[in-house]
Structure 1
Amino acid sequence: MTPDKAPSNAPEWTVSDLAGALKRTLEEAFGYVRLRGEISGFRGQHSSGHAYFCLKDQSARIDAVIWKGTFSRLKIRPEEGLEVIATGRITTFPGKSTYQIVVDALEPAGVGALMALLEERRRRLAAEGLFAEERKRRLPYLPQVIGVVTSPTGAVIRDILHRLEDRFPRHVLVWPVRVQGETCAAEVAAAIRGFNALDPKGKIPRPDVLIVARGGGSIEDLWGFNEEVVVRAAAESAIPLVSAVGHETDWTLIDHAADRRAPTPTGAAEMVVPVRVELMAGVNDLARRHVESVFRILDRRRSDLRATARALPAPDALFAPKRQRLDLAVARLLPALSRNSRNHETRLLDLSRRLSQVSPVARVAAMRAKLDAVGQRPYLAVSRALVQRGESLKQAGQRLVVARETLLRAERIRIAQASDLVRRVSERLGPALAGQVERKAKRLEALGQLFDSLNYKSVLARGFALVRDADGQPLRSAEEVADGQALVLEFADGTAQATGGRGLRPKAPRPKAVAEEQGALF
């Protein structure tokens, strides 16, 4: 029997059986895994709704598929070149004899780093007090102008305008910005500060409330609203600000800094204005209740007035005692007036007698008598005082003259003593100064001689030469000289140019006496 027809104990497999066995083995061995890699070959969803691409790193790649139902639930969409962490099942595709991952969830590879950065930034800004509840203000009940910071082309602005139109139409100002990308944060911060910089009485009215809005997205899509410049602009805003970024489950740092957070842009529109129909119904109900209460009060007051009127006495019974008292008072009035007149007349006569005793004429006469009694005594007293003051001044003048002469004599003596002292000092100062100058001159001469002995020019004067390169730097050995190098030779009486060369044999040395006589030393 030939070897080709030798019997074998190995079982026979069909291709389908082998593919099924490999599929079961792979799925049982790995099950669910998390793969980190870069998306490659993604071209969007297939016509069936499924998405096909590859995950790769620097040395390997694996096929990946996202089924249609899973794709619609993803928080982030796959993009070409995006580094992600994919969670799914490892399986095989028998039609191509390949293995692949069926992706159930996608998240950015840098989400952990982003969340750590976000948490650190949140703690730092919270420590500065930007998220404090006490600094947040209440929204105006019915704003006249509403400012909206969002993209002018998205569905967000249409939802806000439609909701405002349904609830209570207001004047809306839209500041268009990019709500995603590198310039998103700078544009949003500039828009918030721009609305705050508007003049309330200018051509463009200043909003009474601001809405910063954007639709939902991944943490990377919403990252512009986590930037510090946006958070600080929201915290500094003098206009009450409502944050409506993302869906209800999405949180960004601007939500903490804003005065209110809305779960959605539509919710923000509902937050800033009341429902006009409900408001009108409430006003109408209050007006109706007000009118009814006024009518009830009038009816109650009318009933109280009737009851009070029935309890009042008749007019004749009420005024009869008063009329009788008036008649009695009239009867007693005339005698009382007569008595009062007589009493006042008596008091007037008594006051007239007392006034005559203290009249101005009597008081002037009494004062004139006192003045006559005084006579010349004041004049004499003043004259004596003037004479005494004159004598005192004369004695003081004499004392001042004596004191001035004494002071002048003492000053002349002091000046003479000082002049004599100056003369004696000047006589000693001349010889001392001359000796000091002579000592300094000798020291200067000695230092000059020492300088001349240390100066290299004195060495040149003895026949030596200083070798320098073209840059003027001195050369201290033959090793530093290159062939053909330009040299400058400095002698005591000037300089000369030379060219260096190390390949030439030195000639036989001349006698030392001859070399010193010619003064050439290299």
Structure 2
Amino acid sequence: MDLIDDNPAPQGNQPEYTVSELSGAVKRVIEGEFGLVRVRGEVGRVSRPASGHLYFDLKDDRSVIAAISWKGQVARMQVRPEEGMEVVATGRMTTFPGQSKYQLIVDDVAPAGAGALMAMLEKRKAALGAEGLFDAARKKPIPYLPKVIGVVTSPSGAVIRDILHRLRDRFPRHVLVWPVAVQGQDCAAQVAAAIRGFNAIEAGGPIPRPDVLIVARGGGSLEDLWGFNEEIVVRAAAGSAIPLISAVGHETDTTLIDYAADLRAPTPTAAAELAVPVRLELLATLEALGARLVRGVGQGVVLRRQRLRDLSRALPRVETLVATPRQRLDAAILRLGSGLGLAVSKKHREFDRVAGRLQPAALRGLMARQRDLLTGRGERLARAILLRQERRRERLEGLAARLAPALARMLGDAGRRTAEGRARLAVLADRLEAAPAARFARLTDRLEALDRTRATLGYHATLKRGYAVVRGDGAVVTSKAGAEKAAVLEIEFRDGRMVVGGRSGKRAKGDADGGQGSLF
């Protein structure tokens, strides 16, 4: 009968691991060997859930690596991976024990060369163009002479100085500057916020609303200008209700904001030239047009005067025109005497015929009727006058009742305005008294700062650090050959000067009386 052993002997001398121990050991090995790696590949599946993390694949023709960028890392990325884009990802390898897989934690993503950037740029341009953001029909005209110009750029670069200088030379205008970052991770968000901020300014408010916007930046590489290719900037420029001029980069640089803007300028200086005309040219044109107007009016008067003379010569003489009417008048005068006699006789006959029918009773009846009619109209007129006077009296009493409160209100308003004016006058007086002192203090600080700068930049400060100035024959010497050719050398130190001999190696004239010796 065989005995069965419940505790069999171990098979070999290999150690036993739990699943967690083995997973941890693999994790430590991978993270230790690949602490920081750069991997080049094509971006495959891209997923970004509500958590804000970014999940994507890096692949080539034979293998695939899962990659993750946490939310904070995604926010710092200047270029975010898109499917089909070839990139170089920088990060560290690790494992995910829950699924027994390894993955790359990506800190940063860079396109694998300018070709990848251009491919992504063309893809984004086609997508935004399909939405109609680049259509010429939606572009707004630039005002000929804007009162207020809004500039979106960096406040510390040369761009804003060039724009202000050109505007001051051509036609000084009120300029509002919205400072933004024109390069880096924050560039796109700040530029888009500046465009929307200018559009949110209400007309007639305490801050004047710009009539035209200029988005400007100096030249740079494709990566430096990439913030102006971001979709958020393009949509903000296309949705701007204020006409927008794009002046990003040099003349050969093109970004997507150039297509969405209402007008593209080759340089920031050219944008200032496109925004305003030349004031002196306008004045010259106005003077020329005024002179042309004066000459035209004068010439028109001369031509019309000559035309009037020509027409007057074609008219007949006055005696010829009135000869026939004068003859008709003489004939009528001759017929007037006999005509008047015949008319008087005819009127006499008609009067005699009518007078025979007139009787005293008829006249008295007519007079009685006319008297009654006149009496009735007089009574109606008296009643109408009384009624009208009563209505006027009532209206006058109503106006008098309304006049007293109105006068009281007017006096109260006048008192309040007087008090407000006095208070405002007192505030302005205080500001006026404080303004000279404040300005004097600012000018004093500026003068002291300029003096410190002068002292710092002068060569005397350099002498205090142990340097010296060598002059040969009155000119500064900067080489050994120049020193050998000079007849007399003068060396200036921090605390004074000394003169030494030159090529001869002797003392200079006057050194015998306690002067400095020669260095040669």
Please give the TM-score of this superposition, normalised by the length of structure 2: 0.43
Please give the TM-score of this superposition, normalised by the length of structure 1: 0.43
